[in-house]
């Protein structure tokens, strides 16, 4: 008999971001291992039989937490599942796996990302005036305090430490199941080639100029560190880090608002703004963009475990990120890429950029990624196997009670 798993997510729409995409990829991987999986969502647009939309009639883009909880309990009373896996803090789940880390850490790190002490204090305090966020935070705190609460499946050691630090959750309730991505993704060589041609033309470059392209991908430019990256690029250009025969260029992709960042680049260095940076806007197929660049860069203030960095590693691209990114645990610093202690350290970030303008350093890191088989280690298939082991352990304990 197939084990039937319910995965609870707020909105069933992969266009919303990495967390939603991760859940859908995970569900597919679990199905490939013989499990029956239903995704239970409050909202969404889908005709798939394995996706149950429980609050479609409620007003607004989102449903209230307690409204969704009531709908879930009703559904669960009418449908049998061997195990309940939730990305939201419902204490009736068997596994709690928050894709965004703890709510309290996300509040704190979001405040820091404003890089202004007064704004930071204001953002910390005002975060608790948001009713929805406060409701989720309280639910998470309650879930963590319950001795018989769900097993917490942290998507990185960074997230696991958050639960220990903020909620004093004991080790025995936490298991680390690192984030993963689909690794079998095709690149459209024609579209990728056109994109590179457009970028070269915009920068007034030829292939013989041998540029080094650093790709930054995010939607929340502030939180993911675009401002500090622009400052680091300016430092790189103006200092001794800029000795290489090959020159660094920054490609910025994502749906974030660009005006302020264009203005910052212009203020920092007009030449850099005009000749070193291209804002690409949203990109549908990240694999195409990764295929035409040299290095992936994300100096984030907060990321429980960035899919973008994992996708870059799967494409054998060296990466630069910070220790506030759980994905930094999935590669070796100074072998596969660079880990910066804090995003505010623009000097260290500029030095990392300079390091990867050396062709040999790029090649060494890329070769090491392949030699160490990082691609398989970060695959969603590997994640599914680890989660199934967690499921089996929980089910064994259920059978014994």
Q: What is the pLDDT of residues 271-325, one digit of tens each?
A: 899 899 999 999 988 999 999 999 999 999 999 999 999 999 999 999 999 999 9
96: pLDDT strictly greater than 60: yes
Which residues does 43 contact at the CB level (< 8 Å), separation at least 6? Answer: 10, 11, 12, 13, 53, 55, 56, 61, 62, 63
* pLDDT (average), residues 111-128: 93
Same domain, 173 and 232: no
**Domain identity same for 129 and 237:** no
Average per-residue pLDDT in the chain? Answer: 93
| Distance of alpha carbon 367 from alpha carbon 400, whole angstroms | 48
Q: Are residues 342 and 330 in the same domain?
A: yes
Residues 115 and 193 in one domain: no
Q: How far apart are CA 115 and CA 130, in angstroms?
A: 22
Are residues 81 and 36 part of one domain? yes
Residues 242 and 95 in one domain: no
**pLDDT for residue 57:** 77
Q: What is the pLDDT of residue 244?
A: 64
- Are residue 364 and residue 387 in the same domain, yes or no? no
What pLDDT shows up at residue 207? Answer: 95
Residue in the block written with tokens 């406060």:
134
Percent of the chain exceeding pLDDT 70 equals: 96
So what's the pLDDT on residue 49? 81
pLDDT-derived band at 17, boundaries 50, 70, 90: low
- Where does 315-355 have alpha helices with state H? 346-355
- Residue 19 scores a pLDDT above 80: no
Q: What is the pLDDT of residues 213-234, one digit of tens each?
A: 999 999 999 999 999 999 999 9
pLDDT of amino acid 14: 61
Q: Do residues 247 and 303 share a domain?
A: yes
**341 and 196 in a common domain:** yes
- pLDDT for the residue numbered 120: 92
Q: Return the exposure string of 38-64: e unless at least 16 CB atoms fall within 10 Å of the residue's CB, then b.
A: bbbbbbbeeeeeebbbbbeeeeeeebb
9 & 156 share domain: yes
Q: Where residue 270 sits, what CATH number does that domain have?
A: 3.40.50.2000
Are 282 and 384 part of one and the same domain?
Answer: no
DSSP H or E stretch at residue 338: strand 337-340
Q: Count of domains in the chain?
A: 2
What is the pLDDT averaged over residues 131-158?
95
Residue 90, domain extent: 4-180+379-400
- pLDDT recorded at residue 160: 98
Are the CB atoms for 41 and 53 separated by under 8 Å? yes
In terms of domains, do 218 and 339 share one? yes
Mean pLDDT confidence for 170-176:
96
The pLDDT of residue 225: 98
How much is the average pLDDT of 192-205?
A: 96
At residue 242, does pLDDT exceed 90? no
Shortest CA distance to 337 belongs to which of 310, 301, 300?
A: 310
Confidence of residue 45 (pLDDT cuts 50, 70, 90): confident
């Amino acid at each position: 008999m197939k084990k039937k798993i319910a995965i609870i997510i707020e909105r069933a729409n992969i266009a919303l971001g990495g967390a939603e995409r991760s859940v859908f990829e995970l569900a597919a991987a679990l199905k490939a291992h013989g499990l029956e999986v239903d995704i239970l969502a409050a909202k969404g647009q889908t005709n798939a039989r394995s996706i149950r939309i429980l609050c479609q009639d409620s007003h607004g883009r989102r449903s209230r937490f307690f409204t969704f909880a009531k709908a879930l309990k009703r559904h669960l009373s009418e449908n049998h599942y061997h195990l309940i896996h939730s990305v939201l803090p419902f204490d009736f789940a068997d596994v709690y796996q928050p894709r965004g880390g703890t709510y309290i850490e996300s509040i704190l790190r979001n405040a820091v990302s404003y890089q202004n002490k007064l704004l930071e204090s204001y953002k910390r305090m005002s975060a608790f005036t948001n009713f929805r966020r406060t409701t989720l935070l309280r639910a998470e705190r309650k879930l963590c305090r319950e001795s018989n609460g769900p097993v917490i499946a942290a998507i990185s050691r960074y997230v696991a430490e958050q639960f220990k630090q903020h909620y004093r959750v004991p080790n025995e309730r936490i298991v680390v199941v690192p984030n993963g991505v689909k690794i079998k993704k095709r690149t459209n060589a024609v579209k990728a080639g056109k994109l590179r041609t457009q970028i070269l033309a915009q920068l007034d470059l030829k292939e013989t100029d041998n540029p080094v392209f650093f790709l930054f991908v995010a939607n929340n430019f502030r939180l993911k560190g675009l401002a500090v990256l622009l400052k680091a690029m300016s430092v790189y250009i103006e200092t001794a880090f800029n000795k290489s025969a090959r020159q660094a260029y920054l490609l910025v992709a994502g749906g974030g608002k660009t005006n302020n960042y264009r203005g910052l680049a212009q203020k920092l260095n007009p030449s850099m703004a005009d000749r070193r940076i291209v804002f690409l806007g949203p990109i549908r197929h990240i694999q195409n963009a990764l295929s035409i660049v040299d290095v992936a860069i994300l100096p984030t203030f907060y990321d429980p475990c960035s899919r973008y960095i994992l996708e870059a590693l799967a494409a054998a691209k060296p990466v630069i990120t910070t220790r506030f990114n759980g994905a930094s645990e999935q590669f070796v610093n100074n072998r596969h890429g660079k880990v910066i202690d804090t995003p505010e350290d623009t000097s260290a970030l500029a030095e990392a950029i300079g390091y990867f303008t050396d062709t040999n350093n790029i090649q060494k890191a890329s070769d090491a990624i392949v030699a160490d088989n990082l691609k398989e280690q970060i695959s969603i298939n590997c994640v599914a196997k680890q989660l199934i082991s967690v499921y089996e352990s929980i089910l064994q304990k259920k059978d014994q009670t």
